[in-house]
Amino acid sequence: MAIPDYEKLMYPVLKLLGEKKELSGNQIEIMVAKAVNLAEEDMQLRYPNNSKRIFKDRVDWARTYLKKAGLLESPQRGTSKITPLGIKILKDKPKNIDNQFLKQFESFREFKKLSSAKNVTHENVPQEESLKETQTPIDMIYTGRDILNSNLENDLLDKLIEKDASLFEVIVAKLLVSMGYGSSYDDIIQLKGKTGDEGIDGIIKQDVLGLDKVYIQAKKWTKSSVSGPEIQKFAGALRQKHATKGVFITTSTFTEAARKCAKEVSDTIILIDGQNLTKLMIEYNVGVQVEDTVQIKKIDEDFFEEN
């Protein structure tokens, strides 16, 4: 199941603490996961390139917002306890607890007012519908990043299509090296223009002696999809070379027949279409550069304990 957003976790958190005297953050997370029937594998899902688990982040923010509204308190480090106001709210049996519900409390309104005043809109960040109030701040960071990356993917694909086929092959080679295929660009042998190598544009040496090789086919197409016969041709070229590994990359797409053919003729022909190509270029920093870096900081509890 999908991980509930932090608003949907507010009531389960409050209800749980209404039944217990005081719980640690870890105890709350485990018990709330059980209450909402969240699978163990979903509990372990993490944000991209981030050590924090998504479910833990959302439970923590649910606790934070309930605390700001005066329904919870923290008697000691890392624990939560329901307040008399929180007990009163539970007795009223609300249908739902969310941000709109919490706005009835002055302390929460002051907290939201302060948070809104601190928010600075960056002119380069799209104000998209997907940046919703139901997302935690970390959710919003990654949603915003995904929006920017989606725009970047489109720009990258346009740029690739602009360039001639020979440069496209060079870019593909550099990407594969960045991904760890071959130790350097020198490990790639370009076969462009040579006779007897139909269906193959390059070879990557995976070891010093060149005993293990990956064969490349790169197609800069814009108007049509790569079809089954093109994959069959590539597979035939691999068989002639007694090759076991092949990567077919295109700026276009693959037909369903092409994908089926790749699976039938070989388990080691990898197909990368334009969309996946640009995603990989962004992930491995090929043709892109870092424009800005955001650091997310938190209180160092050990620092205050030591002092």
Q: Exposure pattern of 8-40 as b/e (b: 16+ CB <10 Å)?
A: bbbbbbbebbeeeeebebeebbebbbeeeebee
Pair 169, 95 in one domain? no
Q: Is residue 298 part of a domain?
A: no
Distance between CA atoms of 168 and 175, rounded to whole angstroms? 11
Q: Is residue 31 part of a domain?
A: yes
Residue 194, C-beta contacts closer than 8 angstroms, at least 6 positions apart: none
pLDDT of 195 reads 41
**Which residue blocks in 163-273 are alpha helix, DSSP H?**
165-178, 228-240, 256-265
State the burial class of residue 225 (Cβ atoms within 10 Å of its Cβ: 0-12, 13-18, 19+).
middle
Pair 248, 170 in one domain? yes
pLDDT of 174 reads 85
Pair 107, 213 in one domain? no
pLDDT of 211 reads 66
Pair 185, 241 in one domain? yes
Distance between CA atoms of 258 and 49, rounded to whole angstroms? 33
pLDDT of 277 reads 95
pLDDT under 70: residue ranges of the chain:
1, 49-50, 114-133, 182-199, 206-211, 267, 306-307
Residue 124, C-beta contacts closer than 8 angstroms, at least 6 positions apart: 148
Classify 85 as helix, strand or coil: helix
Closest to 250 in 3D by CA, of 278, 288, 291 = 278
Q: What is the CATH number of the domain that holds 223?
A: 3.40.1350.10
Q: What is the CA radius of gyration of the chain?
A: 27
**Total domains in the fold of the chain:** 2
Q: Is residue 231 part of a domain?
A: yes
Pair 111, 170 in one domain? no
Pair 109, 171 in one domain? no
Q: Is residue 34 part of a domain?
A: yes
Backbone angles phi, psi at 86, to 5 degrees: -65, -40
Look up residue 2 and give its DSSP letter.
P
Pair 275, 169 in one domain? yes
Q: What is the CATH number of the domain that holds 51?
A: 1.10.10
pLDDT, one tens digit per residue, over 73-108 is: 988 878 899 999 999 999 999 988 999 999 999 988
Q: Is residue 74 part of a domain?
A: yes
Q: Which of 86, 117, 148 is the last residue of a domain?
A: 117
Rounded to whole angstroms, what are the CA distances from 176 to 49, 52, 69, 153, 169? 21, 30, 52, 18, 11
Q: Is residue 192 part of a domain?
A: yes
pLDDT of 301 reads 77
Q: Which of 57, 83, 117 is the last residue of a domain?
A: 117
Amino acid identity, residue 68? K
Distance between CA atoms of 56 and 76, rounded to whole angstroms? 19
Look up residue 3 and give its DSSP letter.
P
Q: Which of 54, 82, 117 is the last residue of a domain?
A: 117
Pair 173, 107 in one domain? no
Pair 109, 193 in one domain? no
Evaluated on CA atoms 126, 130, 135, 138, the torsion sign reads: negative
State the burial class of residue 190 (Cβ atoms within 10 Å of its Cβ: 0-12, 13-18, 19+).
middle
Pair 14, 70 in one domain? yes
pLDDT, one tens digit per residue, over 32-43 is: 999 999 999 999
Q: Is residue 226 part of a domain?
A: yes
pLDDT of 208 reads 63
Q: Is residue 225 part of a domain?
A: yes
Q: Which residue has the tokens 């104000």?
A: 127
Distance between CA atoms of 272 and 221, rounded to whole angstroms? 13
Backbone angles phi, psi at 245, to 5 degrees: -135, 130
- As a 3-state breakdown, the chain gives helix, strand, coil percent values, each rounded to 5, of 50, 10, 40
Pair 107, 207 in one domain? no
Classify 226 as helix, strand or coil: strand
Pair 113, 41 in one domain? yes
User: Which domain does 178 fall in, by range?
Assistant: 163-283
